[in-house]
Amino acid sequence: MNILIVGTGYVGLATGIALAKKGHKVRFYDKDKEKIKLLKKGKLFFFEPLLQEALKEFTKNQNVFFFDNLKEALENIEIVFVCVGTPILKDGRTNSKDIEKAIKEIKKYATKDLVVAIKSTINPKVYTSIKNILASSKFHLSVNPEFLREGSALNDSLNPSRIVIGTENEYAKKILDKLYAPFEAPKIFTDPMSAILTKYASNAFLAMKISFINEIANLSDRIGANIDDIALGTGLDPRIGKDYLKAGIGFGGSCLPKDTKNMVKYAKEIGIRLDLINSVNKINERQYKVVIEKLQKHLVSLKSRTIAIFGLSFKGDTDDLRNSISLKIIKDLEKEGAILRLHDYLAFKKAKKIINNAFISDIPYFVAEGSEAIVIATDWKEYSHLDWEKIRKLMKGNLIIDGRNILDKDLLKKIGFVYEGIGRK
Ligand code: UDX
- Average of per-residue pLDDT across 388-404: 98
Do the first three CATH levels of 2-189 and 199-284 match, i.e. the same topology?
no
Residue 337: which residues within 8 A CB-CB, separation 6 or more?
A: 302, 303, 304
Q: Tell whether domain 288-420 is in CATH 3.40.50.10490.
A: no
State yes or no: pLDDT of 57 exceeds 90: no
* Ligand 1 contacts CB of residue 333 (under 6 A): no
Chain segment 102-147, per-residue pLDDT in tens:
999 999 999 999 999 999 999 999 999 999 999 988 999 999 999 9
Span 391-415, mean pLDDT?
98
Distance 148 CA to ligand 1 centre (A): 10
Please tell me the CATH code under which domain 199-284 is placed. 1.10.1040.10
Residue 209 CA: which ligand 1 atom is closest?
Answer: 33
Q: How far is the CA of 257 from the centre of ligand 1 (A)?
A: 10
Percentage above 70 pLDDT, the chain: 100
- What is the pLDDT at residue 63? 86
Mean pLDDT of the chain: 96
DSSP structural state of residue 67: E
**What local confidence, expressed as pLDDT, does residue 49 receive?**
85
66 contacts 1 by C-beta, under 8 angstroms: no
For residue 58, pLDDT beyond 90:
no
Confidence at residue 276, expressed as pLDDT on a 0 to 100 scale: 98
CA distance readout (Å), 304 to 202, 301, 338, 357, 367: 43, 8, 5, 13, 16
Q: Which atom from ligand 1 is nearest to the alpha carbon of 316?
A: 25
pLDDT, tens digit, 9 for 90 and up, residues 250-273: 999 999 999 999 999 999 999 999
Strands (E), 205-349: 306-310, 339-343
Burial of 137 (0-12, 13-18, 19+ CB in 10 A): exposed
- Single-letter amino acid code for the residue at 142: S
Q: What confidence score (pLDDT) does residue 253 get?
A: 96
pLDDT exceeds 80 at position 60 = no
Using 50, 70 and 90 to split pLDDT, how confident is the model at 151?
A: very high
What does the pLDDT read at residue 245?
Answer: 98
Pocket test for ligand 1, best of 155, 208, 255 (most atoms within 8 A of CB): 255
What's the mean pLDDT in 238-257? 97
For 300-314, write each residue's pLDDT tens digit: 999 999 999 999 999
Q: Is 288 in the pocket of ligand 1 (CB under 6 A)?
A: no
Give domain limits for the chain.
Answer: 2-189, 199-284, 288-420
Dist CA 181 CA 136 (whole Å)? 28
Class of domain 2-189: alpha beta
Give the per-residue pLDDT at 109. Answer: 96
- Ligand 1 center to 255 CA (angstroms): 8
Concatenated DSSP letters of 382-409: GGGGS-HHHHHHH-SS-EEEETT--S-H
Compute the distance between CA of residue 139 and CA of residue 130 in angstroms, rounded to an integer.
11
pLDDT at residue number 136: 87
- Concerning whether 255 is annotated as a catalytic residue, the answer is yes
Quickly state the pLDDT bin for 56 (edges 50, 70, 90).
confident
pLDDT digits (tens, 9 = 90+) for 80-90: 999 999 999 99
pLDDT at 425: 84
CB crowding 377-415: b at 16 or more within 10 Å, else e = bbbbeebeeeebeebbebbebbbbbbbbbbbebeebeeb
Average pLDDT of span 46-58: 90
Mind listing the pLDDT tens digit for each residue in 332-364?
Answer: 999 999 999 999 999 999 999 999 999 999 999
Is the predicted pLDDT of residue 61 greater than 80, yes or no? no
Query: Catalytic residue among 207, 255, 263, 395, which?
Result: 255
Which residue minimizes the CA distance to atom 17 of ligand 1? 149
**CA dist., res. 87 & res. 259, Å (int):** 9
